[in-house]
Amino acid sequence: MKVALITGITGQDGSYLAELLLEKGYMVHGIKRRASLFNTDRIDHLYQDPHDPDQRLKLHYGDLTDSMNLTRIIQECQPDEIYNLGAMSHVKVSFDSPEYVGNVDGLGTLRILEAIRILGLENKTRIYQASTSELYGGLPENKNEKGFYDENSPFYPRSPYGVAKIYGFWITKNYREAYNMFACNGILFNHESPRRGETFVTRKITRAVAKIALGLQEKVYLGNLEAKRDWGHAKDYVRMMWMILQADVAEDWVIATGVTTTVRDFVRMAFLEVGIELEFKGTGVDEKAFVTACNNKDFQLKIGKEVLSVDPTYFRPTEVDLLIGDPSKAKEKLGWVPEYDLKDLVKDMMESDVKLMKKDVDLLKAGHEILKQAE
């Protein structure tokens, strides 16, 4: 049985990857951080009974800042594959804790690679490093002749997160070249899902739109509406992580959709999923969105209602204006075919968040019923 170790297993990608590897028959080890509250929501469905001898998922307490802990876990698991997904992954937050993000996202990668070397597992263990399109920094002049970022485009990171991840990228490449390790970077563009963290823009939008449509929230405040991202579905992207480690040769790979969309258009698409049409008025910090039509009888708002404002709190000291990736190499050499386009992604996220928020409405209704009966 193949053995995999996932750092960041409690995150969006970690949870989908764990699902995929279990389906493929792997023994899956995951590193979770000790927290004062339960933090395994995204993987609880995979982990019913830790006492079951057939359980193929095992969690270990650990942290990417702790070399001894990482080395011990790797020694215990003897993994065939390590997926280093653990990271402080929020770009805006990285401006507030730049030293920490350097330690976790940059040096954390080194700690994993060095543990493999110390344990003499260079010829056994393949490593996937979660690199990112943030490395490109969105500089227009660095796109290729077709207008995309690809494996040969120069890097110019624009945040402490991007700078830490560039260390992770190069140290992975260096260990591959220096010690002949099967260590690969997946340069992944933004990928989202119903399990996306609530403070990333897509999930912030889909949660807010569901709440606004159900009358649980008045409006949403966002930052830069002009920013453009190449958004794919996390399920498609974790499949590619696995494919990267099954390749004949260790290389670096761009994973993207090749389509870029503004934050503003993502908002439009999310509202349209519940039949609500919007008009945007004003520019910069004065831009607002208003309801112009409601085509779904379940979600009726007042025409002209203001549902979105800009709040500069969410602006970043340096912004990545536009990302768009060219996944040709992954498609041609590894046969990667994504199943979701942006419309499917928005639909999946909206369906999930409407369902989630409806539970709150049902709870409120039940509460009112109880109060009425008590009167």
Beta bridge partners of 84: 7, 129
By CB neighbour count within 10 A (0-12 exposed, 13-18 middle, 19+ buried), where does 197 fall? middle
By CB neighbour count within 10 A (0-12 exposed, 13-18 middle, 19+ buried), where does 34 fall? exposed
Q: Which does 229 bind (CB under 5 to 8 A by kind): ligand GDD, ligand NAP, none?
A: ligand GDD
- Minimum distance between the CB of residue 53 and ligand NAP, rounded to whole angstroms? 26
- Minimum distance between the CB of residue 42 and ligand NAP, rounded to whole angstroms? 8
List the one residue from 3, 18, 82, 201 that touches ligand GDD (CB under 6 A): 201
Q: Provide the token pair at 175.
A: 């260990």
List the one residue from 251, 290, 314, 351 that touches ligand GDD (CB under 6 A): 314
- Minimum distance between the CB of residue 97 and ligand NAP, rounded to whole angstroms? 11
Identify whether the C-beta of residue 184 lies closer than 8 Å to the C-beta of residue 244: yes
What is the rounded radius of gyration, in angstroms, for the C-alpha atoms of the chain? 22
Query: What's 141's DSSP letter?
Result: G
- Residue 254 φ then ψ, to 5°: -90, 130
Identify whether the C-beta of residue 78 lies closer than 8 Å to the C-beta of residue 29: no
Q: Which does 209 bind (CB under 5 to 8 A by kind): ligand NAP, ligand GDD, none?
A: none
Q: Which does 299 bind (CB under 5 to 8 A by kind): ligand NAP, ligand GDD, none?
A: none
List the one residue from 13, 19, 81, 134 that touches ligand GDD (CB under 6 A): 134
Q: Which does 223 bind (CB under 5 to 8 A by kind): ligand GDD, ligand NAP, none?
A: ligand GDD
User: Which residue lies nearer to ligand GDD by CB, 175 or 231?
Assistant: 231
Distances (CA, A) of 104 to 32, 219, 319: 14, 35, 22
The one-letter amino acid code at 360 reads D
- Minimum distance between the CB of residue 84 and ligand NAP, rounded to whole angstroms? 7
Indicate which residues carry an active-site annotation: 132, 134, 161
- Minimum distance between the CB of residue 145 and ligand GDD, rounded to whole angstroms? 22
Q: Which residues lie near ligand GDD (CB under 6 A)?
A: 89, 91-92, 132-134, 189-190, 199-201, 204, 222-224, 227, 229, 263, 314, 316, 319, 323
